[in-house]
Amino acid sequence: MLALRKKKRDFIGTSAIWLVRILFFSLVLALFLLLGKIVSQGIGTISFEFIFDDPKNNMTEGGIFPAIFGTIAVTLIMILLAVPLGVFSAIYLNEYAKDSIFSRIIRTSINNLAGVPSIVFGLFGLGFFILFIGRGMDDVLKTGLLFGQPALIWASATLAVLVLPIVIVSTLESLNSVPKSHRDASYGLGATKWQTIKNVVLPQARPGILTGTILAISRGAGETAPILFLGAAFFLPNLPVSDLCIGDYCIPMINPAKQFMYLAYHIFILATQSSNPTKTLPIQYGSTLVLIVLTFLLNITAIIFRYRFRKALGRL
Amino acid sequence: MKEIKIITKNLSLFYGDKQALKNISLEIQDKKVTAFIGPSGCGKSTFLRVLNRMNDLIDNVKIEGEVSVDGVNIYDKNIDVVNLRKNIGMVFQKSNLFPKTIYENIVYGPKINGIKDKKTLDEIVEKTCIQSAIWNEVKDRLNDNALSLSGGQQQRLCIARALAVEPEIILMDEPASALDPISTAKIEELIHDLKQRYTIVIVTHNMQQAARVSDMTAFFYIGELIEFDRTTKIFTNPSIKQTEDYITGRFG
């Protein structure tokens, strides 16, 4: 006869499920406690002035606008550098490179690059971008000390290297997930390899590429260590902006040669080098909240883009 | 009278060390339907892909022998593979429409060939849809996602897409194996209409289908061409015992 009688409960199975549940809820709880603390302590500080004003009185008063602006500027330039480089590298690795020992070493290295501590990237940026490339350019172009000093562009470049593995890996995955049958269809219609990649593979891979970009933004905006030596300033009320003039028309543009303030670094400064901890503490919470909200907003924008692309693929 | 479109001579194909096709020589007639039958893994699909050089896309494939289309050796170094594939359309086992609109799927081929004029493209869409007997079903929804069509419709749309680049030869790799009987019947009817203009080579598992749609039938077994003759002859009076065993269902 079939064993219809209720069996003695599978003790291990049930306890495993409960364990998973408890762990999950403790994670959610921890997240809420953390966010709740920051929100509740920080929300009081947030005001129009806090967001749009410069720090004052040795950072015990005033706002954090230069830091917000610097963060956005650095992240933007980082994305402009990292996404094309990462996406094209991934296209090369996935579509063109033959499966050889060499290409496997490169793939493994990319994955390993993601695990390198960020301070190492900072030192790399200082050594490679500022001292080697920057000073090299100064020597060659006879400009004096212009490129070979900490600047926004070098910070962005270093962060771009830092987030490159994220962009490459997520692009690789999304390229890989485009069905071979779609490529066959394209080749069968007489498309060249590049036409196939451009018209069939990339449109389908776009949501995945955006996922990589989202992750890269969050990572980049939150990093402190790599930009320590690369132009992040302790206090700098002037925005890294210069007027770009064509004839008589001038538009304010981000000047990548200048130094900048950075939210994550600003928080670090407030926490470690404050002249008056009681007064800076609320500012510190406020800055943290702003940083979190900022990355959240950047993420949301990217998620909306990704959703649009997905929808375009799915339903049109 | 009989015009020969494709000739293969002593064609062998290797995947690495493994030989998948052994010394195959056959002639495919113009504007006729040629069916390849045989058990799974016998090399019939591989052979089909030799004809438009789709095997080039796989690493470690080595081909010996000669394949000529209209008297031109297509494995010659000077052959432009991209052009070759424009002349030899392909329909695959599973519908592989792009996740784009019906319209964009059909104009994909013409567009990469540089046709930009909207009116010309519209005409191509209408013409190929009528040819592939799907116009009435899609004419009001050309801007819908192609993947919203039923399986049979998708496969006919794949045929329309292949026709849009104006090939002379159409290769079909088990085009109806994933379809229900009614859709299959429609595809077979379509093949019958298309052979007025195109040379069709079809791989099929379904022997009744081969008998119904084709003029010539080739029987493959483990990489070898066992018998190649008129379809009526193959199915009524095969000369080789292996062929007879296969079509009567004694193996495979």
Cβ of B98 and A190 within 8 Å?
no
* pLDDT of A209 higher than 60: yes
Cite the beta strand spans of B118-230 per DSSP E: 169-173, 199-203, 216-221, 224-230
* pLDDT of A251 higher than 90: no
Nearest Cα of chain B lies from the Cα of A213 at a distance, in angstroms, of: 23
Cβ of A189 and B86 within 8 Å?
yes
Q: Which residues of B touch A (CB under 8 A)?
A: 52, 54, 57, 59, 82-83, 85-86, 89-90, 92, 94, 96-101, 108-109, 112-113, 143-145, 158, 161-162, 164-165
What's A191's DSSP letter? -
Cβ of B57 and A184 within 8 Å?
yes
Q: How many CB atoms lie within 10 A of CB A292?
A: 18
| CA–CA separation, A39 and A292 (whole Å) | 10
- In DSSP terms, which residues pair with B68 in a beta bridge? B7, B73
* Mutation for A interface: B48, B50, B85, B173, most A CBs within 10 A: B85
The confidence score (pLDDT) of residue A19 equals: 95
Task: Please state the ipTM of this predicted complex.
Answer: 0.87
The confidence score (pLDDT) of residue A304 equals: 85
The confidence score (pLDDT) of residue B95 equals: 87
The confidence score (pLDDT) of residue A8 equals: 63
Q: What is the CATH number of the domain that holds B144?
A: 3.40.50.300
The token pair that represents A109 in the structure block: 């290295």
pLDDT 10s digits, A52-80:
888 877 777 778 888 888 888 898 899 99
**pTM of the entire structure?**
0.81
The confidence score (pLDDT) of residue A3 equals: 62
The number of distinct structural domains making up chain B is 1
| CA–CA separation, A80 and B34 (whole Å) | 54
Nearest Cα of chain B lies from the Cα of A270 at a distance, in angstroms, of: 51
DSSP-derived 3-state class of residue B170: strand
Cβ of A188 and B86 within 8 Å?
no
* pLDDT of A100 higher than 60: yes
Which of B85, B99, B108 shows the shortest C-beta gap to A313? B99
CATH of domain A41-49+60-315: 1.10.3720.10
- What average pLDDT does the structure give for chain B? 89
The confidence score (pLDDT) of residue A114 equals: 86
Domain enclosing residue B185, as ranges: 4-247
The token pair that represents A209 in the structure block: 């590429």
Decide if B132 contacts B160 (C-beta within 8 A).
yes
A191 chain-B contacts, CB cut-off 8 A? 82, 108-109, 112
* Mean pLDDT computed over B64-92: 89
For chain A, count helices (H), then strands (E).
Answer: 12, 4
Q: How many CB atoms lie within 10 A of CB A20?
A: 10
Residue B32: inside a domain: yes
B101 chain-A contacts, CB cut-off 8 A? 316
Which of A182, A190, A195 shows the shortest C-beta gap to B98? A182
Nearest Cα of chain A lies from the Cα of B66 at a distance, in angstroms, of: 21
DSSP-derived 3-state class of residue B202: strand
- In DSSP terms, which residues pair with A246 in a beta bridge? A249
Closest listed residue to residue B36, CA positions, set B244, B250, B228, B236:
B228
* Mutation for B interface: A189, A201, A309, most B CBs within 10 A: A189
Of the pLDDT bands very low, low, confident and very high (cuts 50, 70, 90), residue A316 is very low
Strands B88-91 and B169-173: parallel
Of the pLDDT bands very low, low, confident and very high (cuts 50, 70, 90), residue B110 is very high
Strands A241-246 and B199-203: unpaired
Helix (H) or strand (E) holding B158: helix B151-163
Residue B252: inside a domain: no
The token pair that represents B225 in the structure block: 């061409």
Residue of B nearest to A99 (CA): B59
